[in-house]
């Protein structure tokens, strides 16, 4: 993790730096907010800013927001700085660390922000097969497209590929293409020169240059505008970029990983994604199976999340009951690992017995997993029935379908023309004309009080 410390490196702040480095962080220092902002604009990125609480933290946060630099800020200071600490939190700082620093607290914050591969837990053969392929292609520089439903862990796999690559010691930079408006995404990716547009107060290095030597993850790339896809294709092919407002190509050396929860082949057919870009990205495809397709992972993930959230909330770590375990494995998990994690977080907080039983495993609305699974099955059956009915109409004329609907409705009403016309939403005159036409074609028309079966 990359940590940027803002403030005078004296005494207790120096001790915090030392503890952070011992915790595995790569630490840089800026003695003022202006120097810190210049460093970030220049592409010397950070995953966390640790700022002296006596600095202008509201001004720092405002500057970061104005320049669309999304990095969490943690304030630190002595207990006598209580008012400044409150102001920093109100301005948007994520946390406040009292000085002198506590080694465990520093380590916990670094671990929380770093989000390294500690959550990559698997046991199912389907996932083991995927990991084997990831291990095989990780040392190469090939572009990788990681696909799968939302919540399956695509970013986790991307980090795994990076940490097992030759670029592991270099930056891993991620950008969510779906979270940034189209008119801003180009600047985020390629950077901009001073004065390139309103608000461009200085040269800003984009994610491509920030990731130089390392790996760039383009998260949810299917959401990128087609116009920008052309510029991305050039950057990937020629390994050069153009900053917005610049006139000099900038060479870059990066590996591209991309994720999508959409079918990009279909997006190409629909005209929403460039086929040539898909070919460039999809040198290797890592398709992550949905959680319901790898049931062997569910118990081990559940145990991992129980331990994680019991520690985080300072509560007793309870084992899963057998009933709860079976219910977890049977659940459909439309939200995949992300939904499972949230469910186990709730269960840790709701459990009152010696074990986490099925009663504690609830969805946000209080519904049990078994009820949700039953509702999901009913919905699936209804969708299948509707699809079957729709398919049965394919290849038939509108007139044939209309005749069948009218006669079936008349059967349902035992030949009552008035009731049938009300249900069909047509006048009784129109209904009678239709029935006369069907009778002339040789169709059996039920009389009032009859259906076609009794009339025959």
DSSP string computed for 176-245? ETTTS-HHHHHHHHH-B-TTSSTT--S-B--HHHHTTTSEEEEETGGGS-HHHHHHHHHHHHHSEE--BT
Is-contact 363 372, C-beta < 8 A?
A: yes
Compare 381 and 241 and report the one with higher pLDDT. Answer: 241
pLDDT, residue 111, reads: 62
Q: What are phi and psi of 261, to 5 degrees?
A: -100, 10
Is residue 46 scored above 60 in pLDDT? yes
pLDDT in tens, 167-192: 998 989 999 999 888 888 999 999 98
Is residue 315 scored above 70 in pLDDT? yes
Q: What is the mean pLDDT of the chain?
A: 85
- Tokens 């990731």, located at residue: 211
Residue 55 Cα distances to 34, 36, 76, 88, 271, angstroms: 11, 12, 10, 10, 50
pLDDT, residue 218, reads: 97
pLDDT, residue 391, reads: 63
Q: Which two tokens stand for residue 32?
A: 């003022």
In this structure, CATH architecture of domain 292-373: Orthogonal Bundle (1.10)
Diameter of the chain by CA atoms? Answer: 102
* Count of C-beta atoms within a 10 Å radius of residue 79: 9
pLDDT, residue 38, reads: 86
Provide the H-helix boundaries in 219-321.
Answer: 226-238, 264-269, 275-281, 297-313
Is residue 14 scored above 80 in pLDDT? no
Catalogue the E-assigned strands of 47-94: 48-52, 73-78
3-state secondary structure of 118: helix
- The full set of domain ranges for the chain reads 2-115, 124-287, 292-373, 398-455
The whole-number average pLDDT for the span 97-113 is 67
Is residue 109 scored above 90 in pLDDT? no
pLDDT confidence bin for 45, thresholds 50/70/90: confident
pLDDT in tens, 255-271: 999 999 999 999 999 99
Cα(218)–Cα(267) distance, rounded to whole angstroms?
A: 17
pLDDT, residue 116, reads: 46
Is residue 335 scored above 70 in pLDDT? yes
Is residue 151 scored above 50 in pLDDT? yes
Is-contact 248 137, C-beta < 8 A?
A: no
Domains 2-115 and 124-287 share a fold: yes
Is-contact 234 186, C-beta < 8 A?
A: no
The CATH number of domain 2-115, selected from 3.30.300.30, 3.40.1800.10, 3.40.50.2300, 3.40.50.300 = 3.40.50.2300
% of the chain exceeding 90 in pLDDT: 41
pLDDT confidence bin for 142, thresholds 50/70/90: very high
Cα(61)–Cα(49) distance, rounded to whole angstroms?
A: 10
Length of the chain: 456
3-state secondary structure of 16: helix
Is residue 344 scored above 70 in pLDDT? yes
Cα(321)–Cα(329) distance, rounded to whole angstroms?
A: 13
Cα(75)–Cα(60) distance, rounded to whole angstroms?
A: 11
Q: Which distant-in-sequence residues (6+ apart) come within 8 Å of 5 by Cβ?
A: 13, 16, 17, 20, 27, 28, 29, 30, 49, 50, 51
Is residue 94 scored above 60 in pLDDT? yes
Q: Are strands 26-30 and 48-52 parallel, antiparallel or unpaired?
A: unpaired
Regarding the domain with residue range 398-455, which homologous superfamily does it belong to in the CATH classification?
Homeodomain-like (1.10.10.60)
Is residue 74 scored above 90 in pLDDT? no
pLDDT, residue 117, reads: 42
CATH tag, 124-287: 3.40.50.300
3-state secondary structure of 151: coil
pLDDT, residue 102, reads: 67
Poorest-confidence range of 46-50, 103-107, 119-123, 447-451?
103-107
Cα(254)–Cα(236) distance, rounded to whole angstroms?
A: 9
Poorest-confidence range of 54-68, 217-231, 291-305?
54-68
Q: Which distant-in-sequence residues (6+ apart) come within 8 Å of 322 by Cβ?
A: none
């Amino acid at each position: 993790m990359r940590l940027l410390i803002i403030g005078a490196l004296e005494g207790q702040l120096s001790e915090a730096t030392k503890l952070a480095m011992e915790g595995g962080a790569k630490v840089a220092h800026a003695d003022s907010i202006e120097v810190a902002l210049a460093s970030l604009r220049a592409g010397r990125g950070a995953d966390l800013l640790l700022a002296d609480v006596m600095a202008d933290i509201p001004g720092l946060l405002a500057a970061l927001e104005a320049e669309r630099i999304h990095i969490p800020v943690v304030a630190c200071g002595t207990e006598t700085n209580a008012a400044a600490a409150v102001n920093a939190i109100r301005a948007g700082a994520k946390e406040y660390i009292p000085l002198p620093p506590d080694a465990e607290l520093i380590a916990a914050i670094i671990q929380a922000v770093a989000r390294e591969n500690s959550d990559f837990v698997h046991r199912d053969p389907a996932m083991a097969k995927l990991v084997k392929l990831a291990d095989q292609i990780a040392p190469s520089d090939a572009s990788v497209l990681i696909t799968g439903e939302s919540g399956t862990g695509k970013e986790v796999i991307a980090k795994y590929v990076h940490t097992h690559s030759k670029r592991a010691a270099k930056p891993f930079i991620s950008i969510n293409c779906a979270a940034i408006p189209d008119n801003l995404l180009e600047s985020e990716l390629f950077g901009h020169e001073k004065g390139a547009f309103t608000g461009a107060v200085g040269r800003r290095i984009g994610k491509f240059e920030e990731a130089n030597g390392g790996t760039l993850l383009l998260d949810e790339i299917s959401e990128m505008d087609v116009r920008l896809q052309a510029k991305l294709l050039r950057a990937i092919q020629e390994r050069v970029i153009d900053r917005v407002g610049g006139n000099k190509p900038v060479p870059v050396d990066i590996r591209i990983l991309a994720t999508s929860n959409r079918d990009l082949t279909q997006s190409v057919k629909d005209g929403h994604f460039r086929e040539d870009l898909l070919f460039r990205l999809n040198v290797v495809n890592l398709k992550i199976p949905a959680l319901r397709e790898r049931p062997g992972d569910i118990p081990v993930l559940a145990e991992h999340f129980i331990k994680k959230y019991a520690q985080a909330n300072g509560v007793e770590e309870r084992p899963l009951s057998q009933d709860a375990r079976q219910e977890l494995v049977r659940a459909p998990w439309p939200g995949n690992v992300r939904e499972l994690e949230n469910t186990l977080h709730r269960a840790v907080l709701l459990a009152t017995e010696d074990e986490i039983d099925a009663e504690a495993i609830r969805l946000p609305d209080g519904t049990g997993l078994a009820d949700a699974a039953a509702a999901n099955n009913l919905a699936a059956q209804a969708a299948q029935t509707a699809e079957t009915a729709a398919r049965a109409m394919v290849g038939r004329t509108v007139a044939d379908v209309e005749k069948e609907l009218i006669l079936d409705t008349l059967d349902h009403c035992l030949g009552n023309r008035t009731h049938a016309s009300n249900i069909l939403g047509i006048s009784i005159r129109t209904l009678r004309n239709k029935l006369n036409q069907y009778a002339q074609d040789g169709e059996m028309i039920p009389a009032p009080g009859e259906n076609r079966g009794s009339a025959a």
